[in-house]
A and B are shown apart, each in its own frame.
Chain A
C-alpha cells in the first residue's frame, strides 16, 4: 500500500434496496480504496451490483452497513451541497434535451457554485470553456446536444463533470453505447484527466480488454467477495479470472484477452510470418481448430506474403489449393 492520501475508502459496505419497510441487501462486505490521480474500473458481471454500488457512492441510493469515507470523513457527514463539490457523476443514460447546447450543458456543472438563478461569473465561464477544451469539443460549443453523435455527447457529459470541479468523478458504463474507437478514446481521455487534473475517476465497464490496458486499478465485484489491485496483479493472482465463472469463457494470460472456449476440431499446422500469420492464427482459433507446430496435422496452411497481396496455400490430402482471402479458405474448409 502506498503512502498517498486516500481519497476514497470503502469499508464493509452493504448495498441494496429499500422496498417499503423491508430492505433487500444486494451485496455486502464491499471493501475498496482509491487515491487521487487514479483511474479505477469497477468490473463484474451483469446484475452483480455495479450500478447500485456507484449510485450508493454518489448518494442516489442509501447504503446499509459499513461506511464510505471521503478523505477520512464518513460520506453521510457531508451535506448534499458539499457532496456536489466533491463528487460528480456521469450516468449511462443518454440525455437528449431539445435546444440544449454543449456550452449550456457544461455550464450546469457550475450549479454547486452559482447563485440562485445560476448566473455564471467570468471565472465560471473560463472553467466551462477549459472543461470543453479538455475533452476536445471546442468546435461544438454552440451545437445542440441532440444533434451530435453519442461519442461526442459522452464527451460533453464528461466536460460537465469536469466543470463541476470535483476531486472524484463516478461514471456508470460511460462507453456502453459507443463504437470501438470511441470506447478507446473515452478511456484514454479519462486516464489523461485522472493524471493531469489529479482526480480520482471510477467507472464501471464491461470493456475489459480496454480496461486492462488503460486503468490503474480494478475493483472486482463478485457474488460473494471483492478484490482490488492493478490489472496486472489481478491477472497474475487469478482474481481477474474469477469474473469468468462460465466454463466456456477462458482468459489468455499471454495476450491479456478473454475468449470463448470451444471444443477442438481438426488439427492445423500454419506457417508464415508477420501480421498476416497472426490474423490467420486468429481465424483458425475463432473456429476452434487446434493449431499444432510439430505433430501430425490434418491439413497445412502456408501464408505467403507478396509485395502487395497475401495468398493462402492450403495443403489437404496431397492437394494444394490457393485462396485470395481467409474468408474463402474457411468457407471451403467448412463445406469440404
Chain B
C-alpha cells in the first residue's frame, strides 16, 4: 500500500546509518595521537593474551571512549526527542527538566565547596568515581523533584517553566560557589562543564551501559504514548493514554539517560536538541517507531564523528568535545533550516 514504500525507504536509511556508525566506530579506534593499523584492532580485541602498547591503548582507552561516544550520542538524542515530543517544543532538549543543572550543582558543590575543605586530589582514581557519583546524585535529586511535580501539575507548560526556573536558580548557586572558590578548583569545574568522553573508564561503562539501555528500553515502551503526545495531551487522553503514568515513565527514561551521561561525561550540548531534527529531515516522519531508532543511530554517528575530530588525528592534544559537537552540528542545522525550512515545528 501507499505506506509500504515509505516504510521500505525508512528501513533502507536505517541500515545505511547503521553501517555509518560501524565505520565511524572503527575509525574512532584507529585514529588519534597514535594511529593504530587496522590489523591490530582485531588482535587487540579478540586475542586478550596480546598486550603490547597498541593493544593497551585500544583496550583501555579507545574502546571505552568509542563505546561511550555511541552510548552518549544515543542517550542524549533519545532523551531530546522525548522532551521535544512531550513538550511539543522544537527547542526542548534533554536538559529542559533541569537535569544537567542538578548534576552541575552536585559537581559544583563537590569540586568548589566540599573539596576546598578536603583538598585531597579529586583527580585520583576514587575522585573520578566520586565526581560521577555526586553528579548523578544531583541529577537524581532533580529527577525526583521533577517526577514528583509532574504527578501534581496537569499543565505541561507549567513543568517547562519550572524546569527553566530551576535551571536558572541552580546556575545562580553555581555562580556563587565559583565566585568563592580558588583558581585550581574553578578550572576543575570548568573542565567538567566542557564535557569529556575519555574520562569514562571500563568499570564506569559497566554502569553507564545498563542505565542507557534501560532508558532507551523505557522510551520504546512508551512509543505509542509519544506518538499520541504529538497531538497534545487532550487528544492523547481521549485515545486512552494514561497521561500521568506515561509522562512519569518518559521523564524517568529521560532522567536516566541524560542524568547518567551528564554524570560521567559532563553536560554535552547540542546533540540532544539537534539530532531529532536531523532525523525528522532524513525520514520525513513523525512516527516514533522510526524516529527512535533513527535518533539512536544519528546520535551515535555524530558523537563518534565529534570524537574523531576532537582528538585531532596526528596531534597530541584533544579539544573539549562540547565545543566540537557545537562547531560540527550548528552549521549542519543552519544548512537544514535554510534548505528545508522544516524546523518550524516538532
Listed in ascending order, the chain A residues whose CB lies under 8 Å from chain B are 55, 58-60, 80-81, 83-85, 87-89, 91, 93, 95-100, 103-105, 108-109, 111-112, 114, 116-118, 125, 141-142, 146, 164
Contacts and interface: CB of A to CB of B under 8 A. Distances in A.
Contact of A89 (B1, B234, B287): B234
B120 interface: no
Contacts of B224: 111, 114, 116-118
A158 B234 CA distance: 15
Contacts of B231: 95, 97, 105, 108
A125 B346 contact: no
Given A114-B224, A117-B289, A100 B230 contact: yes
B297 interface: no
Interface string B207-244: 00000000000001101100110111011011111100
Contacts of A89: 234-235, 238
B124 interface: no
B345 interface: yes
A58 B227 contact: no
A88 B345 contact: no
Given A108-B231, A125-B1, A141-B2, A98 B346 contact: yes
Given A80-B242, A97-B345, A103 B2 contact: yes
Interface of B: 1-3, 6, 220-221, 223-224, 227-228, 230-232, 234-235, 237-242, 280, 283-287, 289, 342, 344-346
Given A95-B235, A97-B286, A84 B228 contact: no
A97 B289 CA distance: 16
A104 B287 contact: yes
B238 A58 contact: yes
A118 B238 contact: no
A24 to B, nearest CB: 16
Contact of B232 (A59, A93, A100, A105): A93
26 contacts: A58-B234, A59-B238, A60-B234, A60-B237, A60-B238, A80-B237, A80-B240, A80-B242, A81-B240, A83-B240, A88-B238, A89-B235, A95-B231, A97-B230, A98-B345, A99-B284, A103-B2, A104-B286, A105-B231, A108-B231, A111-B241, A114-B224, A116-B223, A116-B224, A117-B289, A118-B289
B238 A98 contact: no
A59 B237 contact: yes
B239 A111 contact: yes
Ranked 4 nearest A-B pairs via Cβ = A84-B240, A100-B286, A89-B238, A118-B224
A98 B231 CA distance: 11
B73 to A, nearest CB: 22
Given A91-B235, A108-B228, A117-B224, 4 more contacts: A59-B237, A60-B238, A99-B283, A104-B287
Contacts of A98: 280, 286, 342, 344-346
Contacts, number: 89
Nearest to B241: A111
A84 B342 contact: no
Contact of A109 (B223, B230, B239, B286): B239
B2 A142 contact: yes
Nearest to B6: A142
Contacts of A80: 237, 240, 242
A97 B346 contact: yes
Given A97-B230, A97-B345, A116-B221, A84 B239 contact: yes
Contacts of A81: 240
Contacts of B220: 117
Contacts of B287: 104
A118 B3 CA distance: 15
Max chain A CB contacts within 10 Å: which of B221, B238, B239? B238
Given A89-B238, A141-B2, A118 B345 contact: no
Contacts of B345: 96-98, 146
Given A98-B344, A117-B289, A111 B228 contact: yes
Contacts of A95: 231-232, 235
A89 B284 CA distance: 27
Contacts of B242: 80
B238 A99 contact: no
Contacts of A109: 239
Contacts of A59: 237-238
A112 B232 CA distance: 16
A130 B307 CA distance: 50
Nearest to A116: B224
A99 B235 contact: no
A322 B225 CA distance: 68
A125 B221 CA distance: 23
Contacts of B286: 97-100, 104
Max chain A CB contacts within 10 Å: which of B227, B283, B344? B227
Max chain A CB contacts within 10 Å: which of B220, B239, B242, B285? B239
A265 B105 CA distance: 75
A36 to B, nearest CB: 19
